[in-house]
Amino acid sequence: MATKKQQSKQPANTLRCGNIKATIWKNPSEKGPFFATTFSRPFKDQSGEWRNGTSFGLNDLEALLTVAREAKEWMAAHALRR
């Protein structure tokens, strides 16, 4: 059985557009839980290992806008009452 700490490491949702990924996290606070989003772009490093970058080039920005909009809509639809 997973502990609460292990369960909290699972994202609430993951959205993708092209190479861009938005990961939505549920976070606790004194006022109650809230959602936050991280954005990443997978790439292979020099050794061939997959990594997640957090910088975006010109060709990534349209996909970043799309997943940001989708993340905003998902978070609004799943807003947690405080």
26-79 residue pLDDT tens: 999 998 889 999 999 999 999 999 999 999 999 999 999 999 999 999 999 998
pLDDT at 32 (0 to 100): 87
Domain that holds residue 60: 4-77
The position carrying tokens 């938005």 is 22
Q: Is the pLDDT of residue 10 over 80?
A: yes
Please tell me whether the overall predicted TM-score, pTM, comes out greater than 0.75 for this model: yes
- The proportion of the chain whose per-residue pLDDT surpasses 90, expressed as a percent, equals 78
Residue 82 in any domain: the answer is no
pLDDT at 80 (0 to 100): 67
Three-state DSSP at 65 gives: helix
Whether 33 contacts 26, CB under 8 Å: yes
The number of domains in the chain is 1
Q: Which helix (H) or strand (E) holds 27?
A: strand 20-27
Residue 34 in any domain: the answer is yes
